[in-house]
Amino acid sequence: MNSFNSKRIPNIMAVIIIIMLGAGLKIVVDYSLTVDKEAGYLWAQKIFYYHVPSAWTAFLGYFIVMIAGVQFLRTGNRKWDQIGVASAEFGTFFCLLVLITGPIWGQAAWGQPWTWEPRLLTTLILFLLYIGYFMLRQFGGHYERVARNSAVLGIIAFLDVPIVYLSLKFWSADTQAHPQLGMSEQSSLVLNVFFFNLATFTLLFIYMVWYRIHILKLKQKQLELTHGL
């Protein structure tokens, strides 16, 4: 089995991602508008262009975990378990970025990094659910049982994703601290920069998951060689 970086498509993808990350940063720094025009914190407002795409990528990761979980329970194919684990890892990686970048923005906008409001709380619960997922994988016992139980947990944990997304509508406005601005209300310049970063993060996620699955396959091969399977 060859190195992931000796393959042509991943290399092209990596170059595209580096260019897009660099271009995205340049656009955000030089051209992006503040999302909330009345807010007086322009620079901190630019955090939005990294915070929201991270959240989107985390949701995408957890959606793939759910699909992979269903497919694993249906077919029992180890490939789906590997896809589920890799997606869960990077979904949680991006969820952690959301939980770090959010409070930095909150410090500028609210004067405090954290408030116990619905969206923050449901996002924290989502993150903790997937910490539970990894604890299960680490300490769950035999591989078959771990794979089956984590597939079930991945499906159940995904139920929190729509709750996070719709939390602004589920709870009354007086409990909310999050900006209640719809994307349709934004100018095209804000949207163009936002969607550019969204595409970059999605591509980065696909690349990272692909790389991780490659490593999981290598580990499997190493295990087979070690035990002479």
Partner 1 sequence: MDYKHLGYFVAVCIIVFGSVISWWLKMFLTERTILKRISLLEEEK
Q: Which residues bind partner 1 (CB under 8 A)?
A: 1, 3-5, 21, 25, 41-44, 46-47, 50-51, 54, 93, 97, 100-101, 104-105, 107-108, 204, 208, 211-212, 214-215, 218-219, 221-222, 225-226
Question: In terms of CB distance, is 21 or 73 closer to partner 1?
Answer: 21
Question: In terms of CB distance, is 42 or 135 closer to partner 1?
Answer: 42
Shortest Å, Cβ 25 to partner 1: 7
Report yes or no: 105 and 44 within 8 Å, Cβ to Cβ: yes
Question: In terms of CB distance, is 173 or 225 closer to partner 1?
Answer: 225
Shortest Å, Cβ 92 to partner 1: 12
CB-CB neighbours of 150 under 10 Å: 25
Shortest Å, Cβ 101 to partner 1: 5
Question: In terms of CB distance, is 108 or 121 closer to partner 1?
Answer: 108
Shortest Å, Cβ 47 to partner 1: 5
Shortest Å, Cβ 32 to partner 1: 11
Shortest Å, Cβ 174 to partner 1: 27
Shortest Å, Cβ 160 to partner 1: 23
Question: In terms of CB distance, is 5 or 175 closer to partner 1?
Answer: 5
Question: In terms of CB distance, is 1 or 173 closer to partner 1?
Answer: 1
Q: What is the 3-state secondary structure (H, E, C) of the chain?
A: CCCHHHCHHHHHHHHHHHHHHHHHHHHHHHCCCCCCCCCCCHHHHCCHHHHHHHHHHHHHHHHHHHHHHHHHHHHCCHHHHHHHHHHHHHHHHHHHHHHHHHHHHHHHHCCCCCCCCHHHHHHHHHHHHHHHHHHHHHHCCCHHHHHHHHHHHHHHHHCHHHHHHHHHHHCCHHHCCCCCCCHHHCCHHHHHHHHHHHHHHHHHHHHHHHHHHHHHHHHHHHHHHHCCC
| Encoded amino acid at 4, one letter | F
Question: In terms of CB distance, is 69 or 207 closer to partner 1?
Answer: 207
The upper half-sphere exposure of residue 2, i.e. CA atoms within 13 Å in the direction of its Cβ, equals 6
